[in-house]
Amino acid sequence: MSGVHVRLVVGGEAYAFAVENVLEVTDLGAVAPLPGAGTEVLGVRNLRGEVVPVFDLASVLGIERDGAAQRLVIVEHGGVRAGLAFDDVLGVGALAAPTEAGESPLLLGTSLDDGELVGVVDVPHLFASLAPERT
């Protein structure tokens, strides 16, 4: 891991993804809903010919958001891609390794960046939580 992260805002809180997992950041765009999908699933989006599932990152992390998400980060893990809707981009840059445990199992922990607490997302656990349960 390089220590470089994409930092973003979700529900007024700062989160970060390791740049190795981020393919791109774009506007949310048109998302086609999926009937019967869970509340965290916004639908699917055609991204240059590839259909990508889109999840509401606030719902996945269990936090409240005022208003609708405006942006989309495309993340990849193990050859699988997903879009995560969020509020705003804070920036891209070096971030210290997490020093405190996070409140969520979806976080590697938290890091202090310029006086602000940033939750560092554990992408493998995030993808495992998004996978449909096999019965």
3-state SS string over the chain? CCCEEEEEEECCEEEEEEHHHEEEEEECCCCECCCCCCCCEEEEEEECCEEEEEEEHHHHHCCCCCCCCCEEEEEEECCEEEEEEECEEEEEEECCCCCECCCCCCEEEEEEECCEEEEEECHHHHHHHHCCCCC
Looking at the predicted structure, is the pLDDT value of residue 135 above 70?
no
CA distance 104 to 97: 17
Query: Which residue segments constitute the domains of the chain, with CATH numbers given?
Result: 4-130 (2.40.50.180)
Q: What is the pLDDT of residue 108?
A: 94
Looking at the predicted structure, is the pLDDT value of residue 20 above 80?
yes
Q: What is the pLDDT of residue 2?
A: 64
Q: What is the pLDDT of residues 72-123, one digit of tens each?
A: 999 999 999 999 999 999 999 999 988 888 778 999 999 988 888 999 999 9
Q: Taking the model in full, what pTM does it have?
A: 0.91
Residue 23 amino acid letter: L
CA distance 33 to 42: 6
Q: What is the pLDDT of residues 36-71, one digit of tens each?
A: 888 899 999 999 999 999 999 999 999 998 888 999
The confidence band for 134, taking pLDDT boundaries of 50, 70 and 90, is very low
135 vs 21 pLDDT, higher one? 21
